[in-house]
Structure 1
Amino acid sequence: MTHYKLHLDDDGEEDFILVAIHCSEEAYKMAFMINKHLSMRLQRKKNDIELILDEVVSTFSLFEYESEQQYTKFYLVENKCKLTFEKIHTVGSLFEDENSEKMKISHLLPEFKKVDFFLKIESDIEKFPLRKTLAQLNEINEVISAYVVENQNIKSHNNLIFN
């Protein structure tokens, strides 16, 4: 009886470049600035990314652009979701309650808590002009810094699946 072995070279992970962006602007303004400086057409997707983190639903804005000339897809996604909770404390009396608001910040990639946005680039990595793109991002006045995140440093790969 003949036995066959399958050797899979692909490790199952998709190839992408992840650029971390530090910027204190809102997501729509960040998308506008990237569109302006990098000649893109990022558009907000109808459905944002919803994840259940720490028993709370967190929503992250997602923008997408597909360049047919470069065979490249770009995704701009927020890394931070600010949630406000109203907590009611009973003091001891029947009619006396104290209300307090509590703010919680959830992260799309918790291992990068200081990053405000990620630009995910799905492309033929060898042909993509990464240095030029990083230089253009860093030229935006509101951007503090932009740099590439190494894929092996990402622990939450599943949070970056947008399809």
Structure 2
Amino acid sequence: MLLEVEDEEFYLIGIYSSMESFKMAYLLNKFLNVKLTREEHDIDFNHANYEAIYALYSYKEPNAYFSLHLVANKFKGEPKKILSSGSLFSEEEIRPQQVYLIPERKKVDYFLKISEELPRKEFVKILTKIGQIPQVQASYAFDANELKSKQNLIFE
């Protein structure tokens, strides 16, 4: 028997910045007055030839009933090991490749996912404050329903 799961609704902000994830979380905490903390388990994702790990930070507002999730969109790593390639040469040069949580938005460094319970006016304030962070080159709101890989942003 198949159960149909209702799509999770949320706001989504793409953040363009070359900072490390812990620095991004720190600055978002400072500018948004929240307390994003690193999750015990990051997002593990199996791509065709890569096992990627995307940093995940979360914050749940106890009084306002909304939550924030900051997740890295990029992971640079080596492909999964192949036991036998069947070639005469035992070792090939393996170069780290970059893989993406949301492949259709390769230029986005981080996504900030905000639960739908947040009023639209507050969402606009958050987007404006992120744009004021000097180390952020740009930030944009995305319609998550337009993403082919929207399911990759469902963490719970």
What range is the shorter-chain TM-score in?
A: 0.7 to 0.9
Q: For the pair shown, which has the larger CA radius of gyration, 1 or 2?
A: 1
Query: Cα deviations across residues 43-97 of structure 1 (Å, max 9, x unaligned)?
Result: 000000001112321110000000112211000000000003599x9x96xxx87
Give identity over the alignment, percent.
Answer: 32
2:77 matched residue in structure 1: 83
Question: In angstroms, what is the RMSD of aligned CA positions?
Answer: 2.3
Query: Cα deviations across residues 102-152 of structure 1 (Å, max 9, x unaligned)?
Result: 021110000100000000001325455122111110100100111100123
The runs of at least 4 aligned residues of structure 1 exceeding 6 Å deviation read none
Does the 8 Å contact 1:60/1:108 carry over to 2? Answer: yes
**If each structure's strand is expressed as a fraction of its own residues, which one has the higher value?**
1
Q: TM-score, normalised by structure 2?
A: 0.85
Q: 2:17 aligns with which of 23, 29, 37?
A: 23
Q: Give the count of matched residue pairs.
A: 149
Q: TM-score, normalised by structure 1?
A: 0.82
Q: Which stretches in structure 1 are left out of the alignment for 5+ residues?
A: 1-10
User: What is the rounded CA distance, in whole Å, between the counterparts of 1:98 and 1:54 in structure 2?
Assistant: 21
1:113 matched to 2:114: no
Which SS does the other structure have where 1:69 is aligned?
A: coil
1:47 matched to 2:41: yes
Q: Which stretches in structure 2 are left out of the alignment for 5+ residues?
A: none
User: What is the rounded CA distance, in whole Å, between the counterparts of 2:144 and 2:42 in structure 1?
Assistant: 23
